[in-house]
Structure 1
Amino acid sequence: MTNKKTVLILCTLDTKREETRYLKYKFKEIDVLPLLMDLSMRGKEKSRAELTPSHVASAGGSTIEEINKSKERSTITNIIIEGATKIAKDLYAAGKIDGIMALGGSTGSLMATDVMRALPFGIPKLMISSTAALPGLSTKYIGTGDILLFHSVIEIAGVTDMLANIMDRACYAMKGMINYVNNTLSTTSKKTIAMTMLGPCEQCASTVRKALEKKGYQVTGFSAAGVGDRAMEKMIAEGFFQGVIDLAPGGVGEHYFGFMRDGGPDRLESAGKKGIPQIISTCSVNHMTPSRSKYKKEFHKRRKYDLDKFRTWLRLSTDELKEVANEFARKLNHSKSPVKVMVPLQGWSSVDCQGNPTYDPKEDRIFIDTLRNKLNSRIEIIEVDANMEDAAFSQQITQTALELF
């Protein structure tokens, strides 16, 4: 019987054998049990991992012989990722691993972090990557996962003194996470609420959060800028929350139109499928944020509001407001739990206020009326004669949350 913790090491022994061996023996030296899963697709030597490429290929619905023969790199890569993900999830569900770690370049990092993101929030995940700083790659590696990305700076090729130093630090960091942090996130006695937040509704979010915390709730915020939306939907589906206050669901329209704050195809759906009560509001729903490279000619004629020198919000057209309202209704009508839609009639954010160029309550009414006509009778729309950032609206949100949750 041992109290030692186990770390699953995702490796490619065909290309990183020496470096993986170093990690393995370093963990043993510091009283952590390493478990190797070999993701190699072209290895000629016999794998010495506990979980060989044959195990991984089989779990992915193929064989290592078929993978070795194939010239379809993307296909076999997906098979290996699928197999590794299934094995990792099974190991975690059985309580056989306490953390997951990998090292590699761009391909290795992409594969390993795909597997890591499939594991629940809370289990330590550490990726040593020589390409962590390349533009665009770090966001692909992390995505919606709580992954610690360790930039090696130098190439992972041969165990030099510098690389050994990097791997030593990573091993001790992992040991600290699995030994000294409670990673089970056991159920708290407090009700946990997910809340979307965004700069233009920050005052409302902060006021509601503090008011609910005084009543014994635990409120977890998510930045509704795209990635945060996706992470929230994933964590709702995994059962982390008992209620949702979605102040800024603009990611629904952004996904529908393909803009920058795209909240993903599951936006506004997870709570309904899970049977969790939710309060929906409208911060940013009447604006869009297309990337400059996707600007149409007519976009330059739109009413706009510059949040800062990097971000510009454009006003949705009346037809677009109807389309987004239809999407809201389609998603919310499938909900298996109570839903309240709360609309501030004097502006849907701090950006959306009298005197600003995109402020237009009359056009906003088109969204409200379309939504009301499409929603089923179980879902109530509550109109509040205030701006979203007004105290009156925050109070109404809080009161509704106390009644609903």
Structure 2
Amino acid sequence: MSHHCTDDQRSVRDGKPAQLAGAVAIVATLDTKASEASYLAGIIETCGRKTVLIDTGTSNLVVGDKPTGGNGARVASPAALLKEIAASTRKKVGSLLQSGAISAIVGIAGGKGSAVFGEVVSDLPYGFPKLLVSSARPALLAELAFHNDIILYPTLVDLLGINVFTARVLENAGRAIAAMQHAPAQHARKRKTVAITAFGVTTPAANHCVARLADAGVDAIVFPANGAGGRKMEQLIAAGEFDAVIDLTTTELADEILGGAASAGSDRLKAAAAHLVPQVVAPGAVDMVNFGPPSSVPDQFRGRQLYSHTPYTTLMRTTASENATIGWLTAERLSQAEGPAIVFWPAKGVSDYDREGGIFRDVDADKAWLDAVKRNVRPGIKVCELNCHINDPEFAEAAVTWILKQLRQGGSFDADV
């Protein structure tokens, strides 16, 4: 089967394919995926890119006290062995990136190899092309998507050599990754940038914030508060990518506490506090916990108030007791902030479903969040109560006005506000 790229795919100039800067790293276990790795390398190289093959196989390694080959790992269990291989490979990939030798990476793997690939690319920059061709179970691939911006290509058939099905997958993957490359920013950002969290039920508030910031000459990046979005936002705040945060939608804390599907983990609401980044915090969508289809709702919640947001998403209304716990956790994490921080409270509801006449409207449950925050947040962090709904324009106006004031005080930027 031919795997030659077309002229357009090869970016031909003067009869020769244009060579993109940096090679494509191919990560695979060569003891089981050598034929697939070789086939993929051929496709990528035909498209005008160089390749670097990185072996994460275990055939030369042993578990226990005997001498080891490969990368010299000597570990006590298969899981520890995979962790050691991942750490060694991550270091190697990092060195290749720093030297400019690679500008994209692709993995070919089953279940174990996919887990290793996730660890290998965990330190690579946001936007660095990361593609994984995998026969792993969908749940594992979904977990990888929670932690990184990996492009996932499920094969749906097993990777056991080259055949009519795997060839199609590898050809598509090879052409795709050959067309991608990482281009680091050459200059510092000229405009201030603010991170915002949103959910479908808080989108009007986020949209108003984005528009108001744009009018002031400030860029806004919106993260979906679906677990993966909040996790990535925290990572990018810690990496210095943002000048301020409007954390409208802290619903991921509800999922963290109650075992919902949209938890962002225990690092949520910590990065801005630790890095002196000005932050507005609001209780957007803390009236709900996210589960999958109705059948996925845990048995202990079967008698609760549930709503089918979509066929694949079931929302559960939080109680006053649960909102008090969410408010306490919010206050505890926000209290660590040494930089500017403020809480804005919308008295008329925290989501589209929590407004007058809405299916989740519960004034007492909402107020439990507010009371817990006021009792537990450290002195010096103001809690501002607004007599409006979170999606009313005045709520977004208040949040943006405060953020713009912090940005003005923190340094000049291209805006007349």
TM (norm. structure 2) is 0.82
Instruction: Tell me, yes or no, if structure 1 residue 115 matches structure 2 residue 120.
Output: yes
**1: CA distance between counterparts of 2:278 and 2:306?**
34
**2: CA distance between counterparts of 1:307 and 1:155?**
35
Q: Per-residue CA shift, 1:274-333, capped at 9, x if unaligned?
A: 221111111122333466555455x45544555345444333333322222221111111
Task: Answer yes or no: is the 8 Å Cα contact 1:284–1:349 preserved in 2.
Answer: yes
AA at the equivalent of 1:365? K
1:35 counterpart residue number: 52
Structure 2: runs of 5+ lacking an equivalent: 1-18, 62-67, 408-417
**1: CA distance between counterparts of 2:20 and 2:361?**
61
Moved more, 301-310 or 347-356: 301-310
Task: Answer yes or no: is the 8 Å Cα contact 2:86–2:119 preserved in 1.
Answer: yes
Return closer, same or farther for 1:289/1:30 CA change in 2, 3 Å cut-off. closer
Aligned pairs for 1:224-263 within 5 A = 224-263=225-264
2:315 counterpart residue number: 313
Return closer, same or farther for 1:371/1:108 CA change in 2, 3 Å cut-off. same
Instruction: Tell me, yes or no, if structure 1 residue 14 matches structure 2 residue 34.
Output: no
Return closer, same or farther for 1:149/1:186 CA change in 2, 3 Å cut-off. farther
AA at the equivalent of 1:146? D
Residue of 85, 90, 94 corresponding to 1:89: 94
**1: CA distance between counterparts of 2:42 and 2:304?**
61
AA at the equivalent of 2:319? S
Return closer, same or farther for 1:300/1:123 CA change in 2, 3 Å cut-off. closer
2:274 counterpart residue number: 273
**2: CA distance between counterparts of 1:135 and 1:195?**
29
Task: Answer yes or no: is the 8 Å Cα contact 1:230–1:263 preserved in 2.
Answer: yes
Return closer, same or farther for 1:220/1:337 CA change in 2, 3 Å cut-off. same
**1: CA distance between counterparts of 2:21 and 2:390?**
52
Task: Answer yes or no: is the 8 Å Cα contact 1:122–1:183 preserved in 2.
Answer: no
Residue of 368, 371, 376 corresponding to 1:369: 371
Instruction: Tell me, yes or no, if structure 1 residue 126 matches structure 2 residue 97.
Output: no
Task: Answer yes or no: is the 8 Å Cα contact 2:197–2:224 preserved in 1.
Answer: yes
Task: Answer yes or no: is the 8 Å Cα contact 1:110–1:140 preserved in 2.
Answer: no
Residue of 71, 75, 84 corresponding to 1:79: 84
2:178 counterpart residue number: 175
**1: CA distance between counterparts of 2:291 and 2:117?**
31
Residue of 133, 149, 152 corresponding to 1:149: 152
**2: CA distance between counterparts of 1:161 and 1:313?**
43
Return closer, same or farther for 1:308/1:17 CA change in 2, 3 Å cut-off. closer
Return closer, same or farther for 1:161/1:342 CA change in 2, 3 Å cut-off. same
Q: Per-residue CA shift, 1:106-161, capped at 9, x if unaligned?
A: 22222213312331211111112234xx4423312333322122334543333346
Secondary structure of 2:107's aligned partner: strand
AA at the equivalent of 2:58? M
Aligned-residue identity in percent:
25
Structure 1: runs of 5+ lacking an equivalent: 45-52, 58-62
1:347 counterpart residue number: 349
Return closer, same or farther for 1:102/1:153 CA change in 2, 3 Å cut-off. same
AA at the equivalent of 1:36? L
1:103 counterpart residue number: 108
Secondary structure of 1:387's aligned partner: coil
Return closer, same or farther for 1:315/1:169 CA change in 2, 3 Å cut-off. closer
AA at the equivalent of 1:155? D
**2: CA distance between counterparts of 1:186 and 1:174?**
26
Task: Answer yes or no: is the 8 Å Cα contact 2:287–2:351 preserved in 1.
Answer: no
**2: CA distance between counterparts of 1:226 and 1:185?**
31
Q: 1:17 offset after TM fit, Å?
A: 1.9
**2: CA distance between counterparts of 1:4 and 1:286?**
49
Instruction: Tell me, yes or no, if structure 1 residue 283 matches structure 2 residue 288.
Output: no
Q: 1:206 offset after TM fit, Å?
A: 0.9
AA at the equivalent of 1:399? T
Aligned pairs for 1:192-203 within 5 A = 192-203=193-204
Task: Answer yes or no: is the 8 Å Cα contact 2:20–2:49 preserved in 1.
Answer: no
AA at the equivalent of 1:195? I
Instruction: Tell me, yes or no, if structure 1 residue 338 matches structure 2 residue 355.
Output: no
Secondary structure of 1:370's aligned partner: helix
AA at the equivalent of 1:141? L
**2: CA distance between counterparts of 1:366 and 1:20?**
56
Secondary structure of 1:98's aligned partner: strand
Task: Answer yes or no: is the 8 Å Cα contact 2:196–2:247 preserved in 1.
Answer: yes
Secondary structure of 2:121's aligned partner: helix
Task: Answer yes or no: is the 8 Å Cα contact 1:321–1:367 preserved in 2.
Answer: yes
Return closer, same or farther for 1:324/1:163 CA change in 2, 3 Å cut-off. closer
2:413 counterpart residue number: none
Q: Per-residue CA shift, 1:235-289, capped at 9, x if unaligned?
A: 2222222111111111113212322221211010011112211111111223334
Tell me the matched-pair count.
381
Return closer, same or farther for 1:177/1:359 CA change in 2, 3 Å cut-off. same
**2: CA distance between counterparts of 1:26 and 1:17?**
14
TM (norm. structure 1) is 0.85
Moved more, 275-284 or 358-367: 358-367
**2: CA distance between counterparts of 1:215 and 1:322?**
36
**2: CA distance between counterparts of 1:314 and 1:167?**
42
1:48 counterpart residue number: none
